[in-house]
Amino acid sequence: MTSGDRAVSTPIASSPQPGLRLRQICLVAPALEPVVGDLAAIFGLEVCHRDPNVARYGLENALLPIDSILLEVVAPVQEDTAAGRFLARSGGRGGYMAIFACRDPAERKRNAEQLGVRVAHEIDRPPYHGVQLHPRDCRGAFIEFNTTAGSDNIFGPYPPAGPDWTRSIRREVTRSLSGVEMQSPDPASLAAHWGRLLSVAPRAAHDGSWEIALVNATFRFTLGPREAMTGLDLEVADPAAVFEVARRRGYAVGPRSFAIGGVDLRLAGR
């Protein structure tokens, strides 16, 4: 049996679970600027919050909403932080964490532990409850599951993004964050592992990659030299205009993408 056969035969749900959605992507950078300023200027985004609570981890951050998904950038402000060590290990790749909203983080925690995946950190600050899994056990990036009590609306309260995060949503330039690329020397194995953690079965794509489809985004697992979160797919109103702004700010633009914050940003019109 091949690794691909193992991926599709995993006994998990074959469709996205109701209530499980991508809530947030976190990038780690050596410093917030110029990454945050460039993301805002190029993609027409606005910072909604800077969370003072991350200082306890030796970090500073900024969050920018892309419709209902938050794009966060964190940067170390002291020596020997987990984020700084991750950045050193990743060879400069900045895809740090994938954060998922779910109904019951405690159930997700139990599932992870049954799979031999350690819990790195648990945050219980009502109405918010989050469970972060160990990045080395997740492979490629941190995974966090969280919920906010009494907030079934995807545009409802979400404490990590501040009290008024929806006021900072801007849709004129960027419409959505629709996909995440994960690379691995064995994409089928990584897809199967994340599938078990997310309780969503991977499916084979026509180009040899693997995909995990959620209700609001798709994770794509492709061949690469190491396990890492390497790219984001963004739906924009006018890709040519976005590329032109990126060029003016000094970025080397390819046919469909350019790199910022340690990840490749691929654009599609809508």
pLDDT digit string (tens) for 163-177? 999 999 999 999 999
Residue range 177-218, pLDDT digits in tens: 999 999 999 999 999 999 999 999 999 998 989 999 999 999
Distance CA 38, CA 94 (A): 15
Tokens of 132: 């972060």
Q: What angle do CA 140, 146, 151 make, to 5 degrees?
A: 145
Give the residue from 90, 100, 147 showing the smallest Cα distance to 124: 147
Q: Does 7 score more than 60 pLDDT?
A: no
29-52: average pLDDT: 96
Per-residue DSSP letter, 140: S
Distance CA 147, CA 135 (A): 20
Structural domains of the chain in order of their starting residue, each with its CATH number:
3-168 (3.10.180.10), 174-269 (3.10.180.10)
pLDDT at 270: 55
Q: How far is CA 88 from CA 40, 84, 228, in A?
A: 25, 6, 12
Residue range 117-161, pLDDT digits in tens: 999 999 999 999 999 999 899 999 999 999 999 877 889 999 999
Residue range 25-38, pLDDT digits in tens: 999 999 999 999 99
Distance CA 61, CA 50 (A): 6
pLDDT at 86: 83
Distance CA 256, CA 241 (A): 12
Indicate whether this model's pTM tops 0.85.
yes
Distance CA 247, CA 63 (A): 24
pLDDT band at 9 (very low <50, low <70, confident <90, very high): very low
Tokens of 111: 């599932």
Q: What angle do CA 121, 69, 268 make, to 5 degrees?
A: 130
147 in helix, strand or coil? strand
